[in-house]
A and B are shown apart, each in its own frame.
Chain A
Amino acid sequence: MNVLEADFTAPRGDLVLEASLTVQRGETVALVGPNGAGKSSILHVLTGLVPISSGSVMMDSVFWDDAPKDVHIPTHRRDLAVLFQDLRLFPHLNVRDNIAFGLRARGRLEQDISSQVDEVLERFELISKGRSRPKELSGGEQQLVALARAVVCRPSLLLLDEPTASLDNSMRPKVRRILRDVLADQSRANLIVTHEPVDALNLADRVIVVEGGRSGENGPIEEIARRPHSRYAASFVGLNLLRGQLSLAGDHAEVKTELGPLYVADPAIDEGSEVACVFHPNAVTLGIGPPASSARNVFPLEVVAVYAMGGRVRIDLGSLTAEVTPSAVDELGLRAGTQVWASVKATQIEVY
């Protein structure tokens, strides 16, 4: 059963948010997308801090926002909690009082508050920090306090905005472990904003891709990894994606992409359809001059950046990413600004 059902548009600066999403009880959904895509703004709408212009937000069959009827439940009356990207711990309160803030706002008894705060401090490994002010803590500890402050209220909807982004590498495993523990609680609907594929894979049951203010692809991450539909979703799972219109000419099929015609194996799809052409970076071969081989998909491109990835090296070519061996990088002298010829075999391109 869906707990959260949101389908709305909202103005947000020069962007118009157009989001449609549902989250079930016990489910964790990750909103992924490039910077500035509107992921955090979607959270702000759900929180009630940004008004919607059309559509509705419904939680547990109650309208939080209903634009046609001018319904807008104020933030403090929504049964939710937020881990803000910038944490927003109260600087004038110590860790205990920060964590107790939501419980006090809900009018709980002081003795219950105290025992619940003790419990969460222990669970989050913060016992010795109760009397510290936020600024006396490390970044990772502050992150945990903010998470504890949100979780201790037992909200029906938990919104986490980039929960691991600001962490240093030493804290990340600990925060991820605690996050996974928190998200295992089946009584709640969870929505995470992240740009970390690892978090989407480890923490979320389902992924929704947000681009240009719109929510798009939606499904388990394995499904998106197998068949991404947007450039971002493809790069998120480490694949190349080029879109274009399919045309058939005699023995071969061809897709008009931004790079030019891309020859592909006949996909048995109607001519004229918009298709996605997806291929792994290791299907891209690089050379300094035009290849002598029979490869027909050859594009002259400039290297934008070079990244080490495990034992391989990824070459960012703007519209494409190639994966090569470190020795190939040396042989070809690849670095930002190098002109290369990238070729892709038609048989290694999946079209759908």
Chain B
Amino acid sequence: MSKVADMRRFPGFLQLTLLCLLVLYAPLMVVMAYSFNDNTSITIWGGFSLRWYEDVFFGVEAPKFKQAALNSLTIAVMAATCATVIAVSSAVAMMRARRLRGRTASFALINLPLMVPEIVTAVASLIFFSAIGFTTGYATILVAHIVFCIPFAYLPIAARMQSIEDTYEQAAMDLYATPAQAFRLVLLPLMMPGIFSGFLLAFIISLDDFLITNFVKGAGIETLPTAIFGSVKQGIKPNIMAISTLLLLVSVGFVTLSYLASRMGQNKTKT
């Protein structure tokens, strides 16, 4: 090797990166592997089997988990949709209005759910809902989810808008488009990759949430994370590992989707 070294490289950094990946992936890989274990005892390997997946879909606890999954899914879709609509509207105001009173305050407000620790948000929501006499349940979960999804939807949308010059809208207006048409025909299509990423991010964040949901859900309703938590409290069972693996795959699928969408967006606007 020559003495003239690449100044970018440092010895040992590759090893640390691999260690980083090992720490991140080892637990997930192990759980994935053991979800195919054909043994009631979770510790001893008893050969490959799909019995725990069968158990997830058709077992004793299947109806409970199915209902929880359905709740998680519908809440995530609705919360992400509302959060995305609010985020788009806010992003347009924040990034396009030349004069906006309280821009800094608005920025802080939109990001507030990121700044307040989750447990504090959970406590505050519980107190608020109980104080105004709002019955805890499906609706309270949905409202709480919309709130903390907003900044997650906002960030990619605002980032996307920042890279769209306002000359596009000016050009549209110059070519006789009304402000509404300029928004619908030009800005909205250009923002689409950001909106898509924002929606996916909000969706996953909603699906992911345990702590806030656990506080505001009330009795009698479970989302997937609260159901899993409740089950894990009595010890890790193999069916939980199968559910975890399934959820893991869903997450990976969404990340890939979001990654592809952002790449498509980049290709289109590259000039």
Q: Do A and B bind each other?
A: no
User: Hey, which bits of chain B sit against chain A, CB under 8 A?
Assistant: none
